Chain A
Amino acid sequence: MILPQWTEKYNTAQGGRDFLGYMNVGVIMLERLLPGISNITDRLRYYSFFSWVLYRFIKSDHPKNNKNYKKYLKIKSLAFLYANGFLHQDSSKVGLNGIEIFRTDIKNNGEKETYEWDDAFVSKYKDNYWIYSQKMKQVGITADIEGADFIGLTKTYGKSLAEAYEDNIKDTKYFKKYCDKKDNNIPADVLKEYAEKCSVTNLHISIKEQQLLQDIIFRPEKISKELNDFSVYYSDNPPNGARARRESLLLMLDMVEQKGDQSFDYEDFQKIVLYSNVQNLGYKSNKKLVNCLEYWRIFQARQLLIYAIESYFSVMTEVVYNRNIDLSAFIRELNNLTEDGFQSVNDNYEQELSIDTKLKDLVKIISAGKTGSDFDKSCNLESKINEWDVYKNVQKNIKSNNNKDCLAHLVYLLSVLYLRFNYYRVNNSPYWDFGRIGETVSLSIDDFFLGFEKLTDKDLKIKDMVEWIAKELVIKQHCRVALAKLSWYKNNTFHFEYSAGRIKGIKEARPNINAPKFENVINFLEDLNLVERRNEKKVSITIKGKKILNEHTK
């Protein structure tokens, strides 16, 4: 006889963080603004280190396939990590990948005389090569080899860089005795000696290596065709990723210079990007970098938009958590919360919004009659309603689980974004191509404005906008993305289930935003001796930095 069986949960593996699939567009935009540099590429030294490992591997007798290479690479990476670990174990931010592995090892086992990593440890250890490998290709250090699936080093940059690195470490015991040894038994003092030469923070000791890296990341645009493809953002001809990267770096360098002795961090950078065209924030835009600044501005606007939608997602997961309710009742609840939020938030902004306010009126109220660039000009950090302060308020309310105020602020935030940036779209600005990245599938800022405008044209109200966002941009999108993740990676990332008109909350979420590359860029500039850090917030330009800035922009 057969008995009925309880069903199992299918694929309980968790994973990912982009639960709405919108954040990746931010990554794509960043790829275009700073091709070859990512949030994970912390230090320029890694480019030469990985080039060198590849160079050694090519010269070795190992069969040239990716499997062998990965194993070969991991041993070298561990030696690099441990060497750097000894040197930087007490530093808080050095941009050393895997520092926690080293620290845990030291904490648990103390410092050993020799280091030998067993196979299990090696296979478990994950270096960041997978991301560097893409970036190295983008900057022209590596390139595909025709007729082979194994990557090659470019002669001009990759090979030279590897040779420069090797030249730098050639007198170390590590290089002479250990780096090509079949076993991986390395004395601690050998690693420490190696660290003096390979430290992620002492690129300056190898002038040739430093110069090559500078040439690579500030290179002119006439480069490999392949490098252009994923990294175009200028519409002029020929498009080129190298230009985008160079100008973005110069832009940051320019800001550092103009800021002088004042502190300068990512928040300052964001504010300058958003408001320097309407407000004196101690930065006067450079004519040669003005295009670049505009693209960054659109990028920042989309970041805020996605943060807003992610915040809706966060609030919604919290409201529906562990419940199973009709979608219409759920939307009503969201709107009621928004209405409650207006009670307190309206006072701050001296406005009288309600969920029954028509979107047409909402736009009029927020803009006080100004439109397009006029509104843009009037909107700065000193004005009552500006997206930066509203965004900060959303963040604050999310942290304190104040859903109602958060929802009300979100209406303000979206309205300001629409009012400040929609005129790029309406006027067919040449920069607006950037705002179209993501399309409907991943919610480009253009697509959001279009949707907003459709609701406005239909004479709908704030509550209809909330419904649209909740249903279309959050629920459906989340289910779509989670289903795709289930189908592709077998990861169950559902935060709620939606079926037969009912929504069942499973787990809560917090809004995400793409981490900036700002710190990485500053690290890179520091590695190249173009800026120097005084403390965490203070960075100043060096003579070399001024020189390169002048060369390119004056």
Chain B
Amino acid sequence: MSIQNKTISIIDEIISSNDYEHCLILTYNSSLAFYEKIILKNLVNSGCYCNAIIMDGSQYEDVINEEVGDIQFCGSKYYSLDPIRVKGVFHPKIILLTSKTKGKVLIGSGNLTVPGYGSSFEMFNKYEYSEDNKEHLPVFKNVKDFIIDLTKRNYLNPATEKRINNILNDTGWIPKDAESSNNLFLHNLDTPLLDQITKQLPQDIDEIVLMAPYFDSKLAVIDKLKKIYSNTKIKIIIQDHTTNFPIKYFIENKTSLPFVSLHKFKADDTSRRLHAKMLYFCNASHEYLFSGSANISSPALIKYANNGNVECGMFINAEKTIGSGISNIWNNHITKEKIEKITDIRVSDISKDYIPSISKNKIQVKGAFIKESILYIDYYSEAKGKVGVIINDVEVIKENINSGEGRIECLLDLTIKEHLSKNTNIICLKMRGDTSNKVWLHNYTIYKPGAENKITGHLNSIGSYIDNIEIAKSIIELTTPFEVKQGYENNIFKGSKLGEQEELEEQVELPEQRYFVEEKSEYQDASTILTRAVANDKYDIFGQLFGGVARQVQDHYKKYVVKEDVSLDKEENKKDKDESPGIEDVKQKLNSLVNRTVDRTVTQINKKDFKLDLSAAMAINQLIASLTWFQNGIKIEFGDEQTNVLMSKKDYIDSSINLLYRMWSDIKEGDFLFNELKEDEYKLISLVNIIALPLCFVLYSLHIIENDDDSFEIIEEKYKELADIFYGIKDFIKKVPEKLLVNVISTEIIKKIYDQLFFINNDFKLPDLSWEELLQEPVSKEKLRESLHFMALKHKRSIQLKMKNELLKIEEASAKLNQELFDNKIEDNSGGSILDLIISEQSVDRLEEEKINAEKIIDTNIKIDKEYGECQLPVNVKKFFNIKY
């Protein structure tokens, strides 16, 4: 038991823990920016995917009002945050890390803040469980019971509830019954803590030591202890400056407190604030200690959950030993001198910690979450009527509600969706001028490690092919499964300490002359137009993605050509060639795509003056042609060398839109980066980006359609994704003109490009995405729904047609059977589906008609606009669709 001098680093205890899957934190207040940047990031990256925080209700309101701009993930699939609103304050400080086979719990005094976990003097009790260490199971059992009890008594957001249930379900190793040891977890949900503590103590207590930062103004706890242990010495340890100890009251009432002495907290580092809380008792043979969340105050120790705070802590007892006892925890930190006068100690004002300030709104939001495309808002309202649902400060819809507690359910349609940001959203309700409290909207889905790896893996691999390390890094940064956005850090630290970072240490050996490089002239390095043109600018990652792939394919193509030239006639190579099944396809593909597109473009652009419109149009042309590579991903094999540039359309499109959206979201009109965009190459790349997105959309539509074997669920899921993509594009298109096009590029040019592109949509009966409509608010939602529905019908139809014969057969058989059984009394219970089929068939007819119309439109659009010179944009597009469809 000689751990007196041992200290604990709470942050390291959490972030250095491996193999945990869940982390639940109970805290009074929190700094979510600290949590996200230091704690969560490490937890998620080490595989701890199910994270939740429960905190005090009034503090939650402070956080949502004050910290919101710095928070990126609250309510997202990475973690949930729920307030608990109680009479006093919700004050426990517990960190519970668990998995199916192990656990760690930290119970103490520190809140989820930088001081609480990182700088104040706090006290924590740490218990671990593993298959080899089952000693402390009773503590885990008691903590688990406490959490269950809490969740039963208080409203929790179902998204949080789900996480907690995950934790509870996965901790089957915690027994339902366990004998309590001499480490006892105490809480005050039913009984005041002081009563529980004194119940554990013998009557003959010789000394009491109390240490805490906060006390109530009448020293009620000391008063109560004095009554129980009338002649026992009580020492109180407080820290100069940081305590709110009622020194004036103490001095004035000193006569009634004859055995109570006041001492200063002693520590080497005076900058650290004493925030630990402790009650120590001893007699001749034993020592007892309670440490945890409870300050020496009436709401914490004398009252209980129903009329005071919610508190918890650990009670331990041990035989008294000389030199290594429990008392060593505090006796190195107490000054011998007593505080006798008011001026001996400087106290701070009464802490606002004890003045809960939960809004008492007429209408309150208890929690909000999204589950399976439905937005749920749990509320309490004093009156019934119409409420406005406000998401991120915008009133999105109106709903009727009843008085009392209730739940609003609304379909997460496109109107709502377009106001949702990807990670954090804040929601509140408004009724007749009364606005409710705010809450973070929660995602019911829990992050599953590895889910993003498919997409980000592809992007990262592409990033690794890009020459420019900075660009590659930025791609990787953007696509890392979980990475706290470092926007302002980048800004702040750029050029300072980063400059000192070690560079990559990869060994390269080149001929000497390679180390002497030519001064680069403009556009000299043109192995791909995009890679070059966008070098050093983060806004053109899309171009980089494309450029990286293009370069990779091109390099391999060159290798292949070289190989072929040198050794094609050799028998063994011929044999290899013959045995390589995909090689002809590869050759053909490369010839038709790479040679025809990238190389040619580069050559042309190098030869010509770089005039905006022409070159932009050419680049667009090439991009469009090259996008076909993503139709099924690119998978190329070169004899024994295999190169995978495998990226499905969905991955590509999702990621691209996501990246682009984020890039454009960052740009503010008028900032200096925006002005850089006025340069020609930025115009070019911006155009490429703009043009590529709707194409992505169309390609993705194809991707949905091409798979006939999909189940209805998958189809529906795909439509949801499509709608997301559509809205991403829509937002993007809306943003870009505002910020760039109107000022920089002729709107007319863009309009023409869009006109040319969106004719394609007629093929699928998508809404008429005219330029004007795209910019309208609200965008033609009905049209979109209609067309999406139509597309769905088309899918269903293909499946239904297959089913039709089967159904008819069944009906026939059924009719036959019924006829036999019921003597010609046929009960048709399949009429509905037949009717559906008839409707579907009508739809199909309509589709055919529309397809013919679309083809007409395609033909009329083949004509090349003069403005694009040699650009064969519509031809390429048409070719692509002809091939594909």
Contacts and interface: CB of A to CB of B under 8 A. Distances in A.
Interface of A: 1-11, 15-16, 18, 21, 24-25, 27-28, 31, 58-59, 63-67, 130-131, 134, 140, 143-150, 152-159, 222-226, 229-230, 232, 235, 237-239, 322-326, 329, 433-434, 436-439, 441-442, 476, 479-484, 486-489, 492, 494, 497, 499-502, 504, 506-507
Interface string B336-353: 000000000010110111
Contacts of A148: 508, 510, 514
A439 B506 CA distance: 37
Contacts of A486: 37-38, 114, 118
Given A6-B276, A484-B492, A1 B316 contact: yes
B517 A153 contact: yes
Contacts of B487: 441
B136 A2 contact: yes
B756 interface: no
B46 interface: no
Contacts of B352: 326, 500-502
A169 B489 CA distance: 44
Interface in B501-544: 502-510, 512, 514-523, 525, 535-537
Contacts of A476: 66
Contact of A4 (B114, B291, B517): B291
Given A153-B516, A497-B119, A134 B499 contact: yes
A153 B515 contact: yes
A15 B500 CA distance: 14
A504 B515 contact: no
Nearest to A157: B519
Contacts of A506: 119, 271
A238 B505 contact: no
Contact of A501 (B41, B62, B111, B241): B62
Contact of A152 (B113, B269, B467, B515): B515
25 contacts: A3-B3, A6-B7, A7-B10, A7-B124, A9-B269, A10-B12, A25-B491, A143-B519, A148-B508, A152-B517, A154-B519, A222-B521, A222-B522, A229-B537, A325-B348, A476-B66, A479-B114, A480-B488, A481-B488, A483-B33, A483-B38, A488-B486, A494-B119, A497-B113, A504-B273
A434 B670 CA distance: 10
Interface string B120-161: 111111110000000010000000000000000000000000
> Which 7 residue pairs are nearest across A and B when measured between Cβ atoms?
A10-B118, A21-B492, A224-B520, A5-B8, A441-B488, A152-B517, A7-B122
B62 A500 contact: yes
A436 B671 contact: yes
Given A4-B124, A18-B496, A147-B467, A500 B29 contact: yes
B116 interface: yes
Nearest to B675: A433
Given A5-B123, A6-B122, A155 B492 contact: no
A487 B38 contact: yes
Contacts of A229: 535-537
A74 to B, nearest CB: 14
B518 A155 contact: yes
Contact of B499 (A131, A492, A502): A131
B182 interface: yes
B202 interface: no
B504 A149 contact: yes
Contacts of B37: 483-484, 486-487
A154 B520 CA distance: 9
Contacts of A67: 505
Contact of B241 (A28, A66, A324, A479): A324
A239 B326 contact: no
B491 A24 contact: yes
A3 B496 contact: no
B703 to A, nearest CB: 35
Interface of B: 1, 3-4, 6-12, 28-29, 31, 33-34, 37-38, 41, 59, 62, 66, 70, 108, 110-111, 113-127, 136, 181-183, 241-242, 269-273, 276, 278, 289, 291, 314, 316, 318, 326, 329, 346, 348-349, 351-353, 467-469, 484, 486-489, 491-497, 499-500, 502-510, 512, 514-523, 525, 535-537, 668, 670-672, 675-676, 678-679
Nearest to A432: B670
Contacts of B29: 499-500
A319 to B, nearest CB: 13
B487 to A, nearest CB: 7
Contact of B515 (A65, A150, A436, A479): A150
Nearest to A57: B515
Contacts of A21: 488, 491-492
Contacts of B28: 500
Nearest to A59: B512
B514 A27 contact: no
B497 A7 contact: no
A184 B672 CA distance: 49
Contacts of A149: 469, 503-504, 506, 508
Nearest to B271: A506
Contacts of B515: 58, 64, 145, 150, 152-153
Contacts of B346: 323
A232 B674 CA distance: 12
Given A28-B494, A143-B520, A5 B671 contact: no
Contact of A323 (B34, B183, B348, B510): B348
A441 B6 CA distance: 41
Given A225-B522, A226-B520, A442-B491, A4 B123 contact: yes
Contact of B8 (A6, A11, A499): A6
Contacts of B668: 439
Contacts of B316: 1-4
A484 B672 CA distance: 24
Given A4-B108, A65-B507, A484-B489, A9 B118 contact: yes
A324 B525 CA distance: 60
Nearest to A65: B507
B273 A439 contact: no
Nearest to B123: A4
Contacts of B314: 4
Contacts of A483: 31, 33-34, 37-38, 114
A552 to B, nearest CB: 21
A497 to B, nearest CB: 5
Contacts of A152: 514-517
Contacts of A27: 495-496
A487 B514 CA distance: 39
B9 A2 contact: no
A474 B721 CA distance: 43
A235 B514 contact: no
A488 B489 contact: yes
A286 to B, nearest CB: 25
A44 B23 CA distance: 56
A8 B504 contact: no
B496 A7 contact: no
B506 A155 contact: no
A483 B126 CA distance: 26
Nearest to A489: B497
Contact of B535 (A158, A226, A438, A501): A226
A480 B70 CA distance: 8
A104 B559 CA distance: 58
B814 to A, nearest CB: 67
Given A66-B502, A156-B519, A500-B62, A10 B119 contact: yes
A476 B121 CA distance: 23
B113 A499 contact: yes
Given A9-B118, A63-B507, A239 B676 contact: yes
A459 to B, nearest CB: 23
A58 to B, nearest CB: 4
Contacts of A487: 37-38, 41, 484, 489
A236 to B, nearest CB: 10
A54 to B, nearest CB: 8
Contact of A433 (B113, B289, B467, B672): B672
